[in-house]
Amino acid sequence: MEKVLKASHFNKYFTEPDRFQVLKDVTFEVNKGEFLAIVGKSGCGKSTLLYLLSTMDTEYEGTLEINGQTLTGRSQDYLSKFRNEHLGFVFQFHFLLPEFTTLQNVMLPALKLGRYSEKEVEHRAYEKLKMIGMEDHARKLSSKLSGGQQQRVAIARALINDPTIVMGDEPTGNLDKTNTGIVFDIFREIAQENHQTIIAVTHDPDFAAGCDRVIEMSDGMIISSHENQI
Amino acid sequence: MNLSITTQIAKTHLLSKKRQTLVAMLGVTFGIAMFITMISFMQGVNQFLEDSALDASPHVRMYNEVNTQRPALIDQLNRSDSAFNVIYHQKPKEQLSRLKNGFLIARRIEQEPGVLGVSPQLSTQAFYNNGPIQISGTIAGVDIDRENRLYNLKSRLKSGTIEALRSNPNGLIMGNVLARKLNVREGDKVSVTTPTGGTMILRVVGTFGFGIGTVDNTKSYANLSTVQEILQKDASYVTDIHIKMFDPLLALPLGKKLRAMYGYYTEDWATANSAILAGEKIRNVMTFVVSMTLLVVAGFGIYNIMNMNVINKIKDIAILKATGFEGKDIVLIFLLQAVFIGVLGGLLGLLIGFILSYLLSITPFNAGDFLSIKTFPVIFDPKYYGMGLLFGLITTVLAGYFPSRKASKVDPVSILRG
């Protein structure tokens, strides 16, 4: 199995208000096309771990390798470009840009990447919206959508540049049962069919149960890692 | 750099908050409009005062200063530290204020490069009598054609002609305010008395107005030979040489040179009008201080609005950074908004500034006899419009840059974790 992400010996400290070790020697690897869930109680460090993996938080000890590239110690601009090209994000509180239409929200990261012309980007964005069943809302302002719809659009945005890894911080945390189901099915589909890797931090036991593998954390350490039999 | 995408985002931000954009823009508009109006008006006033002062005064005036102070003979002969001399009531020696060889000097100066014209003249104080009314003033004996070349007298005449003075040896062209005070007009006779006692009756053949109180109030022109006759002097007696240059700035070195060459006092226009020039400097400083204050206030307005904008958009900034936008893209997004506000507000300000200065320039303004203007003097110089736009842009870019830089430093993790 091909490894897309290697995290070795992560140590992370919070210095405010007191020095406190959030992550203790966390080491793990993720396979290509794997649907991984990180679970654990609040405060166990799972979100902190995710933001380290996302390259947005750069203050840590240890080394991070994604797609064979070492990302530890790189400049902010380099990491921005890397995120743009290789990583997609879905957050708990959807976070679309409210002044833009659904379609524009999805297009933005691709326009930034500049790999395709604007016409092609628009076409691809439509494809992604079709995949999540939101093509009818393409021209609506994103602030006019419901929470579940916004979360689906956020997934489409995360996928627009065909990233290697899609990361989710409680992607279903704010959604009802139906929408949770829809979001989960979309993740499942991209992992299986596009062989894109999903790493999701979740509280939801049902969500975790449907993943390929679950990493459980407690007090900043990985206490178990088991594969689900589906 | 993704200019098109950042432009698109900046545009969307501006359009989604039209009212806020408009308010920020109006701040700049007001600042620039007032800047344009003030500077056009102030420079207009400066120009007008300078022109009227320069028009009526020579670029260089050469004269012989009468100095009554002279050391006593005994002081020169018997100078010792142990004794001192006492002299009572020493009378000044008679001194003539004439320029020796005045006509020759004038001919020589005419050959200097850059000289427009030279007018040797005889100037003296005089009393003008019309019946019982007696008013003091000055009378200048001139070669009227030369004087016309220097001061463009023809265009200043309110009545009569220059030719009338040339053909009438006892003619007099009088300042219009002086003529009004004496209650004389073209054709009337006036008696002129000089301090030395000479009296002559002259006929007013014309009146002139420079628009400057001190000239129109006191001065008259007569033929040089006439004034020489009143003063009982010979035909080569002149007291002043007035010189006009093509370029007024060249007058300053020429004045120094002539002084060294002929040994007479020379006074250039800058010295003669130093009060006006100093006033001009003060007005310039004032204009710039007020204009800059207006622009800085407008700048702070933009700074506030952009700052609010950044705080409102902090989530959006975090999400843009998470999806791969770099710090400089974020700076550009917000800076573009500030520049847009600056350019559009600035252009609108130029237009309003132009309209205001135009309205000012057609507003009637009665300055009485002292200044010959009917409306406020306003200068329309593209230079000031360029300056206004440039200053407007600089303030908005500065006011926009600091909030933008703050935006680019937003830490996405702390925002996204909530």
Q: Determine the Cα–Cα distance for residues A153 and A139; give it in Å rounded to an integer.
A: 12
A46 touches chain B (CB under 8 A): no
CB B366 within 8 A of CB B18: no
Each residue's pLDDT tens digit, B104-125: 999 999 888 888 899 999 999 9
Collect all residues of chain A within an 8 Å Cβ-Cβ radius of residue B5: 108, 111-112
CATH code, A34-46+77-227 = 3.40.50.300
Q: By CA distance, what is A75's nearest residue in B?
A: B326
Collect all residues of chain A within an 8 Å Cβ-Cβ radius of residue B16: 99
Kindly list the domain boundaries of chain A, sorted by start residue: 34-46+77-227
Chain-centre distance for alpha carbon B131: 41
Percent of chain A past pLDDT 70, that is, above it, reads: 98
Question: How many other C-beta atoms can be found within 10 angstroms of the C-beta atom of residue B363?
Answer: 11
ipTM: 0.84
Q: State mean pLDDT over B46-60.
A: 81
Collect all residues of chain B within an 8 Å Cβ-Cβ radius of residue A83: 322-324
Q: State mean pLDDT over B328-350.
A: 87
Q: Determine the Cα–Cα distance for residues B266 and B254; give it in Å rounded to an integer.
A: 9
Collect all residues of chain B within an 8 Å Cβ-Cβ radius of residue A92: 418
User: For residue A150, what pLDDT band results from cuts at 50, 70 and 90?
Assistant: confident
The DSSP symbol for A174 reads: T
Q: Determine the Cα–Cα distance for residues B225 and B237; give it in Å rounded to an integer.
A: 9
Q: What is the pLDDT of residue B137?
A: 92
Q: What is the pLDDT of residue B221?
A: 93
Q: What is the pLDDT of residue B78?
A: 77
In a 10 Å sphere around its CB, with 0-12 CB exposed, 13-18 middle and 19+ buried, how is residue B33 labelled? buried
Q: Determine the Cα–Cα distance for residues A63 and A25; give it in Å rounded to an integer.
A: 11
CB B325 within 8 A of CB B5: no
Q: Which of B68, B124, B122 is nearest to B99 (CA)?
A: B122
Q: DSSP string spanning B45-92?
A: HHHHHHHHHHHHS-SEEEE---------HHHHHS--SS-------PPP
Q: What is the pLDDT of residue A132?
A: 78
Min CA distance, A155 vs chain B (Å)?
12
Q: DSSP string spanning B250-318?
A: GHHHHHHHHHHHH--EEEEHHHHTHHHHHHHHHHHHHHHHHHHHHHHHHHHHHHHHHHHHHHHTHHHHH
Q: Which H helix or E strand runs over A37? A: strand A35-40
Q: State mean pLDDT over A77-106.
A: 82
Q: State mean pLDDT over B275-286.
A: 84
Q: What is the mean pLDDT of chain B?
A: 85
Q: What is the pLDDT of residue B348?
A: 92
Q: What is the pLDDT of residue B171?
A: 92
User: For residue B2, what pLDDT band results from cuts at 50, 70 and 90?
Assistant: low
Collect all residues of chain B within an 8 Å Cβ-Cβ radius of residue A169: 416-417
The sign one gets for the Cα dihedral A98, A103, A105, A111 is negative
Report B:2-31 residues touching A (Cβ under 8 A). Answer: 2, 4-5, 8-9, 12-13, 15-16
**SS3 assignment, position B401:** helix
**Distinct helix (H) and strand (E) counts, chain B:** 17, 10
pLDDT reading at B203 higher than 90: yes
Report A:74-103 residues touching B (Cβ under 8 A). Answer: 76-77, 80-85, 89, 91-93, 95-100
